[in-house]
Structure 1
């Protein structure tokens, strides 16, 4: 049996590989949070929570969605999402648009889009720097593996 970063012993080579992947994903997540905080500290924009940044990213990719869609996507209570969206609206980063149906479609404002694009550009540059010694094939393989990992469940 093989050690598993402080957890129960691992029984197979596959289990060991899965545990190693989980460990590395945790490191990537932690590094991403730290990078986003450092970039935000040096930006002229408002201080946003990780949840608010995630909501902005979701809206950037899906303009016109409703708060209930955000709550469902993030598995959060609608009142929690509503409070976060209210703050983003107050900051001038998100706006609601008129719609004949229930709920109000959401989108980033010009300021919200500018802040989001600026942050993403900095994170993209940091990622490119981190992978500067990788070949194009290695980057493509990693991107494909991450995309497959992040596919929605099809069961």
Structure 2
């Protein structure tokens, strides 16, 4: 009878370890998925309208397109223009935080706007970013959206 207890504990430890590794693996996979894949996953599971998704991962439904940049004529500034698109089926975008990436660092900028869901035109933005006059502009990322 004493021989069964160590065997049971051994199997229980293995099962718990396997469950832990599966959960960690799914979590890591989720965080490295591109926003388009997350959005498709939400739609396939039918949870894109859930309160959790809209509160925690709304930025996966936001895309930034038609980005242009130029150095300002005067000073140490960049002028960056683009369009914000909301691909969610029913949620209206009211605020988005963008990260402008430069060769010497990045700057986060919060933009308050109203973009309707499934808007094919997008909402234009124009931002002036200081302090990167000698750097190259690289890209724009969506950090957060509400």
One fold, TM greater than 0.5?
no
Q: Which of the five TM-score ranges fits, normalised by the shorter chain?
A: under 0.3
Q: Which has the higher contact order (CA 8 A, sep 6+)?
A: 2
What TM-score results when the alignment is normalised by the length of structure 2?
A: 0.25
TM-score by length of 1: 0.24
Which of the two has greater helix per residue?
Answer: 1
Decide which structure has the larger Cα Rg and report it.
2
